[in-house]
């Protein structure tokens, strides 16, 4: 079997916890996965495929995550510090019975990532960082509720933003949407990255190679890694139940990044030019995908 899968009789109870007989539940899917594996395709491990119960849990977590970002959207503006954003996200999340996933994650010191202007990702909120008219900032919010993870991020324009930066933010969002449009159940993960990359390059931008999306749901970062510089027709087969993020980082200048910040987290563009990122979380369904967090 492709992942040491179940040795079940057709009348046994399905492995997924539905309580149904295997033959009425996941037997057909397992056969299809096995056939794909045998033909040399990259097939996600069954443990990555979310059950209906998992998806319900992830949706409850995502409701808090989306609510926290909506709360930020309603308050952000010139004069706000990134520390303010951290406090808003922390308090909103905790008041809704959830835990901010970034806090203490591999030593990350805050509850949200705030990445302004030339910061590509993993910016650490600070009371010394005041958002000013003309800034662009990504707020990347991740939530754990009852053990289920959700993760999405949005860009915010602070006051009037120069057209070149506003265009970057818009095109980065459209690039993420091109990735969504490329999602096909039983298609390939590489189709998503290829669509994102083609669109960004058409607009004269570049896409960061070192960071990408990720599987998510029962852990913060699960397989697969989602590259946004991938080639069509490559990578994992998009099996229903696979849950992952689409979160390309689009640079105005060159793709190269600078990871030399002594804090060990803040990632910048190497050329110092602005960068933008939007992140959504989806699950593959029988006939497309469902948006879980945005």
Q: Which residue's CB atom is positioned nearest to ligand MF3?
A: 102
Bridge-partner residues for 244, per DSSP? 215, 282
- Which CB sits closer to Co ion, 30 or 193? 193
Q: 224 is in the binding site of which of Co ion, ligand MF3, none (Cβ under 5 to 8 A by kind)?
A: none
Distance CA 286, CA 238 (A): 10
CA nearest neighbour of 252 among 137, 175, 140, 169: 169
The interaxial angle of helices 52-75 and 82-95, nearest 10 deg, is: 140
Residues 200-239 that bind ligand MF3 (CB under 6 A): 214
Tokens describing residue 251: 């640079």
- Which CB sits closer to ligand MF3, 27 or 277? 277
175 three-state secondary structure? helix
279 interacts with ligand MF3 by CB under 6 A: yes
Contact region for Co ion (CB under 5 A) — 22-30, 77-85, 143-151, 286-294?
Answer: 143-151
86 interacts with ligand MF3 by CB under 6 A: no
- Which CB sits closer to ligand MF3, 29 or 63? 63
151 interacts with Co ion by CB under 5 A: yes
152 interacts with Co ion by CB under 5 A: no
Residues belonging to the chain: 294
Q: 37 is in the binding site of which of ligand MF3, Co ion, none (Cβ under 5 to 8 A by kind)?
A: none
114 interacts with Co ion by CB under 5 A: no
Contact, 110 vs 86, CB < 8 A?
Answer: yes
Compute how many residues bind ligand MF3; rule: CB under 6 A.
12
CA nearest neighbour of 26 among 35, 17, 38: 17
Contact, 28 vs 111, CB < 8 A?
Answer: no
Tokens describing residue 174: 């459209």
Please give the residue ranges that form the binding site for ligand MF3 (CB under 6 A).
102, 105-106, 108, 113, 122, 140, 142, 151, 214, 247, 279
């Amino acid at each position: 079997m492709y992942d040491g899968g179940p040795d079940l009789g057709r009348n046994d109870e399905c492995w997924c916890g539905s309580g149904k007989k295997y033959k009425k539940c996941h037997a057909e899917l397992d056969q299809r996965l096995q056939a794909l594996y045998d033909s040399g395709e990259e097939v996600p491990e069954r443990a990555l495929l979310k059950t209906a119960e998992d998806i319900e849990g992830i949706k409850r977590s995502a409701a808090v995550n989306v609510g926290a970002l909506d709360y930020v959207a309603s308050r952000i503006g010139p004069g706000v510090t990134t520390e303010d954003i951290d406090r808003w996200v922390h308090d909103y999340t905790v008041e809704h019975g959830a835990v901010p996933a970034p806090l203490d994650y591999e030593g990350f010191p805050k509850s949200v990532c705030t990445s302004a202007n030339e910061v590509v990702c993993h910016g650490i909120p600070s009371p010394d960082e005041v958002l000013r008219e003309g800034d662009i900032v990504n707020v990347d919010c991740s939530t754990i509720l009852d053990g289920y993870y959700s993760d999405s991020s949005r860009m915010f324009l602070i006051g009037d933003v120069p057209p070149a930066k506003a265009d970057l933010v818009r095109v980065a969002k459209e690039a993420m949407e091109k990735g969504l449009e490329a999602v096909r159940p039983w298609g390939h993960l590489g189709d998503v990255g290829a669509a994102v990359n083609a669109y960004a390059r058409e607009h004269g931008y570049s896409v960061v190679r070192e960071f990408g999306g990720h599987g998510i749901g029962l852990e913060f970062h699960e397989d697969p890694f989602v590259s946004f510089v991938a080639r069509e027709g490559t990578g994992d087969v998009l099996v229903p139940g696979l849950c992952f993020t689409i979160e390309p980082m689009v640079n105005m200048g060159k793709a190269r990044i600078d990871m030399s910040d002594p804090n060990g987290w803040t990632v910048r563009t190497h050329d110092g030019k602005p960068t933008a990122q939007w992140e959504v979380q989806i699950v593959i369904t029988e006939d497309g995908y469902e948006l879980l967090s945005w």
